[in-house]
Amino acid sequence: MAEQRHEVATANASASESELSDDSQGSRNPKKRKRNQKISCELCKARKVKCDRAEPSCGWCSKNNRICVYQERKKPGMRIAYVHELEDKVNRLEAMLNSLGRRVEEHIHDHDTAVQSKTSATYSQPGYTPLSDISREAVSQNISSPTTDSSWQYSNGQRDSSRLLPEPMSVRSVVDTPDIRSTTRPRSYTASTVATRPYAIGESDLPPYDVVYNLVDLFFKHVNPWSPILDRKTTFNVLFGGARLTEDDRVLLNAIVATTLRFSSDPRLTSASRKQYHDTAKTKVLFHCLENPSIGSMQALVILAIDTIGTSCSLQGMNLLAFLARSITQLGMGNEKTVYLGAPNYTPVSNLHLSHAPQPPSWIEEEGRRRLVWMLYILDRYTTISTSSTFTFPDNDIHLRLPCTYDLFSRNAPVSTRWPRGPSPSNDPLSSSPSHLGSFSYHCEVLTILSRVHNFLSAPLNLSSPAAISHWRATYTSLDHELTAWLHSLPGEYGKISQLCHSDPGSKISNWIMLHAAFVTAVIRLHSVAAYPTISSPHFPPSHNALQRCLGAVESLREIATDTIANSMLDLLGPPFAFSLWTSARLLLVHAATLDCEVDPKIRFFISTLEAMGQYWQIALTYARTLESVVREGTKSSHSMAGKNVANGEGARSFREMRRVAWRTGRGLMGRKEGGWWEQSRVLVPAEGEVEALDVFGFFDYPRVVSEEERVGGSGQGTPVREVAGVQSPVFAMPQREADWLNFQPPHE
């Protein structure tokens, strides 16, 4: 028996080896077929019972007289028919896209001449790719293996919005399956996929996709550091996260493109295409924001206002700020709020529900609104302080805490900050740490002081009243103390900006440079009225100490600008820094006009710095050209009086004469008619150079005096501006050190 069992085992082993050999050779052995068959016949499998796998019919099938069928096992993996089906679908879709691409190109070609000339520049750029090629590349890239370049990844942000630029077309997106993009993480992007991803419908007027991506990146390098109203990670996730965008986010992208084109060095962006992209994006922003006022559209409009203000001193920029100020006031965004009005569940009769902004979904959204309002406040201050008009966004319309540091804002870490210095709500139960404040916080705060300076200097002054002069001096000293206290409140490491430029250059400190420039502007605005008054009296003589404060502030800004240029950071600063340079250079001209001497040679440095900024911000170049024209005329006049270049000096006016001309022109424009409505209006036609002189010297035209009727009828404070009878020309007196009425307490650096 044992020998028989051994023979059976040996036979089975031989049979197994034979089966393996036959299988490797592809033989059609019945035992191989049995091994490749399923473990049960079809009937036993359907009944879910164990099959004895007998041949040719199993026991159950033989007993019940049924046909026993064994099916061969199928190879693992995807079915060939399914693969062929997907390939057919891809081929059909590709053919369809090719056909649509040809039809679009034929439509553009057959369009009328006017529209064709407008769009030809866009489609003739080197970065333009036909629609059929874009779609083919997008499909092929998604079928291939995904990339792992982590440098293009951005995690999900806090903003719950749809996206503008959709993710590339994939096989899953063209078959009959649900759209799962809204529930998946953003894709990883590489330079190749960014360059070939198609636009959403209606965005063909934007530059190529990779150029748009780089423009958004440039925005967070050159603009957002000193205008931090957007969070970088959240914004990139919104614009390039993979899903579709709302109209507000689409308009935000256009605003960023219009503002940041000036910083791009991409060779595909010619001067003509830059202008076309800029004008198209600007038009989209204006039309959308005016028709759809919302928080998202106001963010886009503030960014566009930066572009407009940085281009020219036009009414368009002031109109944008006026619209923004009115919208923010109507929405109640200028106040700290803890109660919000929910959307009504019925059709309301009044528009009360439209006068309240919806509740922010997160703290980062709430802080973003606060930063939006404060940025509007800053832009309004810089555009208004050079005039005698009132602020578009007055201080009474804003009751907000200071914004926090950008790091806390980006991390979505809720904190409490203090109110700005000066009048603030009483009984404040919340306390805050000084570490919660950053450069943007202090910038907002110093401009609240500058606002009070502007309002203080806008009121007329009764020079013949000792009581009015005494009250004026007390207010003047109080504002000076506020500026001094603000300077000492800066964090220790940021108190000396020159040391910071050398120790840590880069965009992260450009906002602190802008901050110190704003302080210089505030010092010059306050103390220049006491140092260089256009009308002096025994009660209001010029102050030598105030003059030294002004010159010290100018020298401080010159050192800051020198360090900025040495560290190649001039492109990281915005139009407010150009305004500070413009103000400092004008003060040097006022100083020369008051002392009737040649202008300080340092003015050449300010002009050249403004010219360098002019390649990014056109308004800086306008400042430089105006200064150059005035300096050239004043230099010719001084050479003429010295007996040099008499021929070239014919018709030239000195700096003192130009300041007198500016004073008369300004008085003529601001004066009120004394006659009735029937009196014919006068038309002032400024001569050549008078407008430039007014632009330079009009900023320092102070004090504005009151008339005889106002002195008799009232206190002379807060009354409308009218002229003093008999005052035909300004009097520029020389400051006397010994008889100075202003005594500063040290330190005043």
C-alpha triplet 337, 338, 342: angle, nearest 5°: 95
Average pLDDT rounded to a whole number, residues 49-77: 82
Average pLDDT rounded to a whole number, residues 139-143: 37
pLDDT at 78: 55
pLDDT at 460: 86
pLDDT at 335: 82
Are 593 and 732 contacting, i.e. CB atoms less than 8 angstroms apart? yes
Q: 421 pLDDT exceeds 90?
A: no
pLDDT band (50, 70, 90) for residue 38: low
Q: Could you tell me which residues are beta bridge partners of residue 132? A: none
Lowest mean pLDDT among 63-72, 183-192, 266-275, 345-354: 183-192
CA 549 to chain centre: 34
Helices (H), 245-341: 247-260, 271-291, 295-309, 315-330
Position with higher pLDDT, 155 vs 86: 86
pLDDT at 336: 80
Average pLDDT rounded to a whole number, residues 93-113: 70
Position with higher pLDDT, 54 vs 580: 580
The owner of tokens 């891809």 is: 90
Three-state SS string over 666-714 comes to: HHHHHCCCCCCCCCCCCCCCCCCCHHHHHHHHHHHCCCCECCHHHHHHC
Average pLDDT rounded to a whole number, residues 715-737: 53
pLDDT tens per residue across span 522-562:
999 999 999 999 887 777 888 888 999 999 999 999 999 99
pLDDT at 355: 57
Q: 178 pLDDT exceeds 60?
A: no
pLDDT at 438: 87
User: 706 to each of 468, 529, 697, how far by Cα in Å?
Assistant: 11, 17, 21
Is this model's pTM higher than 0.75 or not? no
Lowest mean pLDDT among 106-120, 131-145, 259-273, 464-478: 131-145
pLDDT at 76: 61
pLDDT band (50, 70, 90) for residue 505: low
**DSSP-assigned letter for residue 72:** B
Q: 432 pLDDT exceeds 70?
A: no
pLDDT tens per residue across span 291-302:
888 888 999 999
Average pLDDT rounded to a whole number, residues 4-12: 47
Position with higher pLDDT, 737 vs 407: 407
Q: 704 pLDDT exceeds 50?
A: yes
pLDDT band (50, 70, 90) for residue 104: confident
pLDDT at 347: 61
The number of beta carbons lying within 10 Å of the beta carbon of residue 459 is 16
Average pLDDT, the chain: 74
pLDDT at 592: 93
Position with higher pLDDT, 141 vs 584: 584
pLDDT tens per residue across span 210-259:
899 999 999 999 999 999 999 999 999 989 887 788 888 899 999 999 99
Average pLDDT rounded to a whole number, residues 155-167: 38
pLDDT at 139: 33
Cα–Cα distance measured from residue 317 to residue 309, given in angstroms and rounded to the nearest whole number: 5
Give buried/exposed letters for 708-727 (b at 16+ CB in 10 A, else e). eebbeeeebbebebbbbeee
pLDDT at 736: 73
Return the SS3 of 540: strand
pLDDT at 683: 63
Lowest mean pLDDT among 196-210, 373-387, 388-402: 196-210
pLDDT at 109: 62
Q: 390 pLDDT exceeds 60?
A: yes
Lowest mean pLDDT among 166-180, 345-359, 523-537, 559-573: 166-180
Exposed/middle/buried for residue 539 (C-beta within 10 Å: 0-12, 13-18, 19+): middle
Average pLDDT rounded to a whole number, residues 603-611: 96
pLDDT at 693: 86
pLDDT tens per residue across span 654-671:
888 899 888 888 777 665
pLDDT band (50, 70, 90) for residue 480: very high
Average pLDDT rounded to a whole number, residues 433-458: 90
User: Got the DSSP string for 203-227?
Assistant: -TTS--HHHHHHHHHHHHHHTTTTS
Position with higher pLDDT, 155 vs 350: 350
The owner of tokens 């603009």 is: 223
Average pLDDT rounded to a whole number, residues 703-716: 52
Q: 69 pLDDT exceeds 70?
A: yes
Sign of the four-CA dihedral 166, 169, 172, 176: positive
Q: Which amino acid is at 285?
A: V
Position with higher pLDDT, 685 vs 276: 276
pLDDT at 285: 93
CA 303 to chain centre: 5
Are 519 and 748 contacting, i.e. CB atoms less than 8 angstroms apart? no
Q: 190 pLDDT exceeds 60?
A: no
Return the SS3 of 551: helix
pLDDT tens per residue across span 310-355:
998 888 888 999 999 988 888 888 888 655 655 556 665 655 555 5
748: left (phi over 0), alpha (psi -120 to 50) or beta: beta
- Enumerate the domain spans of the chain: 208-342+356-384
Cα–Cα distance measured from residue 547 to residue 524, given in angstroms and rounded to the nearest whole number: 9
